[in-house]
Each structure stands twice: as C-alpha cells, then as structure tokens.
Structure 1
Amino acid sequence: MDKSELVTDPSVTGPRAADPGTYVMKKLPEVTLAFWVMKIAATTLGETAGDLFAQTLKLGYFLTTILLFLIFVITLVVQLRSRRYNPFFYWTVILSTSMAGTTMSDFMNRDASAKYLSGGATSLGWGPQGLGLGYPAGAAILISLLIVIFTVWRMTGQTFVIRDIVTFRGEALFWAAILVSNTLGTSMGDFLSDSSGLGYAGGALLVGGVLAVLLALTRVPVVPNVLLFWFAFVLTRPLGATAGDFLTKPVAKGGLDLGTAGSSAALLAILIGLMGYAHVKERRS
C-alpha cells in the first residue's frame, strides 16, 4: 500500500473550503507493514479480551456487548476530539472496535447451546443468551450494513483513501465502517474455526493465504489499492479471531489452551510496545 503524504505544517487543518470547520487535521496513520502488524495484534487481542469478559468472567454476550460498546464510544470521542494523529488514541479505538465486534458477533450468531458453552453450563451472564442467527445470517446482515455505510460514504463525496481522510464526516464514516467490518470479520473467523472443519490453525492459514494473494495484487496496476486495502482490513479480523481462538481454546478442540487472561495480557503488552514505538516515530517525523 502507498505511504500517506506528510503534513508538513502543523497549523494546516486540511484542504480549504467554504466551511473551514468541516476540516480537521490528518489523524489517521500511514499504511505500512507496521500498520498491519499492529492491526493483527489489536484484532487478536480483541478476540481474547472479548472472550475474557463474556466467557471467562461469565458476564455473557449481552452485558459484555453493552460494556464494550460504551468503551468504544468513549475511545471514539477521544479520537474524534483529538487535533492530530496520536497512535495511542487511534489504536485504542481499533482495539475497542475489535473487542466490541467480538461480543456483538457472538451475541448475534450464537445461543446458549452446549456447543458454545463449556463445563455443562446452560447460561452465560445476565440477559439474553444470544440471538442464535447463525454465521451465514449474521454475516449477511453485517455485509448489508457495510454496503449501506460505503454507499452513504460515496454519496457524501468523501474519499475512501485512508491517507486522504481529513474531514470529521469522513473520519466518522471510517470508524463506522471499521466497527461493522471488525464484527463481520469476527463472524467469518468463528465460522472458519467452528463450522468449516478447518479448525483454528487451518482457518488462520487460509485467511493468511488470501491476504498473501491480496499483497501480490498490489503489484497489479489495474487493481485499485483502495479496494485491496478494505478487503485486507476486513480479513485481518478473522485472522485475529482464529489466531485468538488458537491461543485460548482447549487442546482437545485444537487450541493451545493458554487461557484468555494470559493471552490477553501478553498481547496487550505487545500492542502497547508497538504503540509506544509508533508514538516515538511520529514525534520524530
């Protein structure tokens, strides 16, 4: 993917228009290899942390979805009110959308059947135990929502190129697409892990192979890089979902049984380290 253009003057708040308040400073990162490494780390942590709250701590999908969605709103407000790109703000929103997307997907697709609940439990937390729509129906709903968002996005005339998003409206549409795409990616990852027969490692390898194909297509001039970016952005979520399940699920189910708490702590330390590196690099730039 192309690197973003540098904003050389910190007083510049974007292209001039009749309504100058419409424009904000460029606040989204360059799309580099480090970007994708951090995205995969954040989405994997989103899977393990979402399962930690909903399953290990037994809050259930319903309560955890409400809690994590509120955290998403708070982190999003901080990001939107920020006047410049801050790696900690940006990647915290990515993490919160991944965590919220995990439990939103589980609540939509799963139910209280023994297939999803361990230890002979018949319920998980307070409130509805899940809508039980199934992965195909849940994915169809999420794909429809994502199409609606992109349609509205196009109608507003805002750019889809992440490096060129410099307006409040464009950034708001970007984050709406991120939330839905991360929820959709969780559904895809859980389908590959639970229902496709590939297992956790097989699902991760399949998604990794598709991502390698997308990387190769960036060398093909007729294929728009913007389209490849959004495909890759969606697909890194099921990669994180299958990788997270591989780390935490029991050995009998094909996982490493490292637990949601330990895996989440290790992944959080890695992500914080990467955010610190990105912050230092940003200040040097």
Structure 2
Amino acid sequence: MRLKVTPKVGPRYWAAILVASMCGTNMGDTIPDVLKVSALSGLIMLAFMFALLMSAERATSRGSEAFYWIAILVVRAAATNIADYSIDQAHLTYLNVIAALVLLLGGILVLQHRSKSKQIKGALPPACGFYWLTMLLAGSLGTVIGDALGHSFNSVQMGVPISASIATLALLLIWIARTRMDWPGATSYWVAVVGVRWWGTNVGDVLAFLLSLVPSASITGSALAILLLTWRASPTGSTDLARSSRGQET
C-alpha cells in the first residue's frame, strides 16, 4: 500500500493540504446531506474508493503525486463521516470521542517513536497502510475538535468562525514551533495535521454556509488542482527515501 511517489513537506505541501482539508470536509458532508447516504454506508463507499485508488497506483510503473492527493481527499472525507457517525448515530459525546482519538493517535505516535525508523527532513513518513491509518485518526480528531467548538455556541454561524479563528492561531503556533524551536519529526508533523484538519473543518463549513456544499467542494477541489499544477515541486519517490535513509544510517 506504500505509494511510489509522495510530495515533499514544505510550504507547497502545507498550502495544498489546507485546501484539501476544506475540500475533503465538504466532500464528506456531501455524502449524508446531498447523496442522502448514511455515514456508515458512506464510509464503506469511501473505503472501496480508497482500495481502488491504491490498486490503480500499484498498477502504474512509476506512480504519480496525484494518487497521494486523491487519497488525502478520500481519507479526509472518511474522517468527516467517522466524526458524524460517532456523534449523530453512535450518540457519543464530543469529549468521549476526542479522548478516544487522542489515546489511539498517541499510542501510534509512541510506537512510531520507539521504532528504529527515522523521518528524513523534508520528507513524509512512509506512505504505507500505517501512515493512512494515522492520517484517518488525525483527520477524525481534528474534525471532532472543530465540530465540538463550532457547536458549543448558541449559533453555529457564530461558533464555527470563532473555532476557525482559534484553529488559525493554533496552526501558527505549531508552525512557529516546527521552524523556530527545531521541532522536526513525525510527532510535530501529525500534530500539525490535526491542526490542519481542525481548521479545514471549520473553514470548509463557512464556505458551505456561503456557497452550499457542492459548489464549495468544486471550488476548493479546483483550487487544489491549480495550486499543485502551478506550484511545481519535485516529489519524493520511495526508492529515493530508502537510499537517503541508508545513507544516514552509515
């Protein structure tokens, strides 16, 4: 399930994943609100789409960065459906869901920290099945945090922008810590992803309030494609990562 080509982590990556988070939020909400499909059925549909995507990538000889970003959108939409199912259908509280996701994500990060593999600066953690599971958990956690804060006010139209503002401040602090306080590695990457997903949940909701779900998803999806095509960066292949890793260990 490991992708052949992944993007490098840098300004282009974070700009793209911010846009992808907005788009994936609206895609996830489209499943129950527009298609009238339950969150659980939507998750099954998205899992099938993800499996097809991985199979298509494996069938290619060299891969493409496009597979990574499409997978990000699918996983982001799935995280939205997990959050919706947990609150609306399983009738769990926001606090219980957040606590469970924090424990799961924290456990994965502890296991990753204890492993011998080291993340190369400027590269993603290996985009294998473990990576996508962590991405799903981080996306679900960010979604639930955004929804919990956005719905904690009397008016959702007021609460969601307030939560988006808090998420913006949190992201700025995380990125400052990453760049100025020398906080590299997988842990800071996943903390930043949670912040991005939180931000994308609320900003995506604001766009949906203004434009409705389908136009908002279409616009942000087009913006993501334009950003990736116009802001070119050399992607990182799995073979190159393996060579770099061996070079660091010797």
**TM-score clears 0.5:** yes
Match of 2:197 in 1: 237
**Does the 8 A contact of 1:25 with 1:166 survive in 2?**
no
Note if contact 2:3-2:68 (Cα within 8 Å) is conserved in structure 1: no
The code of the aligned residue for 2:85 comes to F
1:171 and 2:123 correspond: no
Matched with 1:159 is: 118
Q: Distance in 2 between the 1:163 and 1:174 partners?
A: 16
**What letter matches 1:54 in structure 2?**
P
Correspondence for 2:147: 190
Contact 2:8 2:124 in 1 (8 A): no
What is residue 238 of structure 2 aligned with on the other side?
none
Between the aligned partners of 1:137 and 1:282, the Cα distance in structure 2 is: 41
Between the aligned partners of 2:58 and 2:145, the Cα distance in structure 1 is 29
Residue 244 of structure 2 is matched in structure 1 by none
1:269 and 2:222 equivalent?
yes
Q: CA deviation at 1:235?
A: 0.5
Q: Note closer, same or farther for the CA distance 1:218–1:151 as it changes in structure 2 (3 Å cut).
A: closer
Q: Percent identity?
A: 23
Contact 1:27 1:166 survives alignment (8 Å): no
Secondary structure, aligned partner of 1:31: coil
Distance 2:143 2:225 in 1: 22
- Tell me if 1:215 matches 2:175: yes
DSSP 3-state at the match of 2:5: coil
- In structure 2, how many angstroms separate the alpha carbons of the residues matched to 1:185 and 1:166? 19
> How far did 1:83 drift?
6.2
Superposition pairs of residues 98-113 of structure 1, within 5 angstroms: 98-110=76-88
Closer, same or farther in 2 for the Cα pair 1:139/1:37, shift >3 Å? same
SS in 2 for 1:218: helix
The root-mean-square deviation of aligned C-alpha atoms, in Å, is 2.6
1:136 is aligned to 95
Deviation at 1:282, TM superposition (A): 3.3
In structure 2, the partner of 1:282 is 234
Q: Find the residue that maps to 1:239 and give its secondary structure.
A: helix
Q: Give the number of the structure whose alpha-carbon radius of gyration is greater.
A: 1
CA distance in structure 2 between the partners assigned to 1:47 and 1:25 by the alignment: 23
Q: Which amino acid aligns with 1:153?
A: Q
Question: Higher relative contact order at CA 8 Å, sep ≥6: structure 1 or structure 2?
Answer: 2
Tell me how far 1:90 sits from its aligned partner.
Answer: 0.9
Aligned residue type for 1:224 = W
TM-score, normalized by length of structure 1? 0.72
1:149 aligns with 2:108: yes
State the secondary structure of the residue aligned to 1:37: helix
Q: Relative to structure 1, is the Cα distance of residues 218 and 162 closer, same or farther in structure 2, using a 3 angstrom cutoff? A: closer
The Cα shift of 1:29 comes to: 1.6
Contact persistence 1:79–1:90 (CA under 8 A): no
Give the aligned partner of residue 247 of structure 2.
none
Q: Structure 1's 165 and 158: CA in aligned 2 closer, same or farther, altered over 3 A?
A: farther
Q: Which amino acid aligns with 1:147?
A: G
Checking the alignment, whether the CA contact within 8 Å between 2:21 and 2:201 is kept in structure 1 is yes
Q: Is the 8 A contact 2:9 2:123 kept in 1?
A: no
- Structure 2 residue 246 is the aligned partner of structure 1 residue 246: no
* Amino acid in structure 2 at the alignment position of 1:135: Y
TM-score (norm 2): 0.81
What is the CA–CA distance in structure 1 between the aligned matches of 2:147 and 2:40, rounded to whole Å? 18
Is the CA contact 2:7–2:123 (under 8 Å) kept in the aligned structure 1? no
- Classify 1:242/1:166 alpha carbon distance in 2 versus 1 (closer, same or farther; 3 Å): closer
